[in-house]
Amino acid sequence: MFCSVGRRGRLLRNAKETIGKTGSIIGTDLQSTAPALQFCDIQNTVPRITDPNYVDTIIEIAKANDAKAITTLIDPEIEILAENYDRFKELGIIPLCPAKESAIYCFDKYELYKYLTKNGIPTPLTFHDLDEFKQALSDGKISLPVFMKPICGSGSVGAHKVNTLEQVEADWNSGEHDYIIQELMTGGDCDADVYVDTISHKAVAAFSKRKIETRIGGASKTISFKDQKLFDFIERICSIFTFNGPLDMDFFIKDGEYYLSEINPRFGGAYLHAYGAGVDFFKLIVNNINGIENPVEIGNYDEDILMMMYDDVVIAHKNDLVNSDFKLL
């Protein structure tokens, strides 16, 4: 069961390719016009995730359709699933989400920074206090330009480079976002799609890729690569969290070392690359549903495989929508 499917049609198509005739894809969204719903076997419209009846609604849908696993495709819903982890488990549904504490760390970028630093995981120097940042700047612990982004942001909204202290102060005091300030990492970056087995809670698959081209919200062209140092780092990171299922990890590179930037505990927007290169998380999910612990096969793919995104559309009759009572703009 995929919640908040939105525009992720290709991901749902890939899921159906793997599951085939052995299972069904259940999809939910606030809007019946969400394109990805058209690729689900069972379609449902639901209230907003902030609605007090939201969790009960998705649980009823899961029960009615005999769902065996549940996940979400948007960041704000991850913590909601995590808070209800035990409810899903009691119903025999595997929540493909972190434990609650791990979910909080992943959504709050400053809490993540503090937790990673406490556990010796390299990560960019980060501040959530303007005076502390200015003191560090004065002491030479950080230098301009820097990078600012919302503490609980998603999809790169509000993230930007800042060249002067005056602009840092102006952006900080604008009230537009609750910002964090980070050292600007200029040595390159990459990301990895990771699957954490729901039985062993260990990373069992990882697909790493470098960005060739980036659009708002994520990479649009990527190329696969392998580095055992990165794979070891991924396993080390996963050992300090309680994860279940797919992860999207972002990394920076500095002086030949990897620094963890963010963890999104869901299918990343560019997971399509991993699937196309043969790293099939849906197969791993089905194994876990059937009580099978997946063996560790990190790095089991070819290097120099390219992904190049392009636009596509869904064409459907209004009467074929799960809920045709929608407002026109």
Q: How far apart are CA 25 and CA 36, in angstroms?
A: 11
Closest to 63 (Cα-Cα) out of 90, 31, 32: 90
Closest to 245 (Cα-Cα) out of 63, 28, 82: 82
Q: Which residues of the chain have pLDDT under 50?
A: none
Q: How far apart are CA 267 and CA 263, in angstroms?
A: 11
Would you state the pLDDT for residue 217? 64
Q: Mean pLDDT score of the chain, rounded to an integer?
A: 95
Share of the chain above pLDDT 90, in %: 90
pTM of the model as a whole = 0.94
96-116 pLDDT, tens digit each: 999 999 999 999 999 999 999
Q: Reduce the DSSP state of residue 292 to 3 states and report it.
A: coil
**Residues 6+ away with beta carbon under 8 Å from 211:** 189, 190, 191, 219, 221, 222
203, two tokens = 């990373």
Strand ranges (DSSP E) for 134-293? 146-150, 160-162, 179-183, 189-196, 203-215, 218-225, 245-254, 257-264
313, two tokens = 């559309």
Would you state the pLDDT for residue 229? 98
Would you state the pLDDT for residue 216? 65
H helices of the chain, where? 9-19, 54-64, 78-83, 85-90, 100-107, 109-118, 130-138, 165-172, 228-238, 271-276, 281-289
- Identify whether the C-beta of residue 230 lies closer than 8 Å to the C-beta of residue 256: no
Q: How far apart are CA 133 and CA 183, in angstroms?
A: 10
52, two tokens = 């007090």
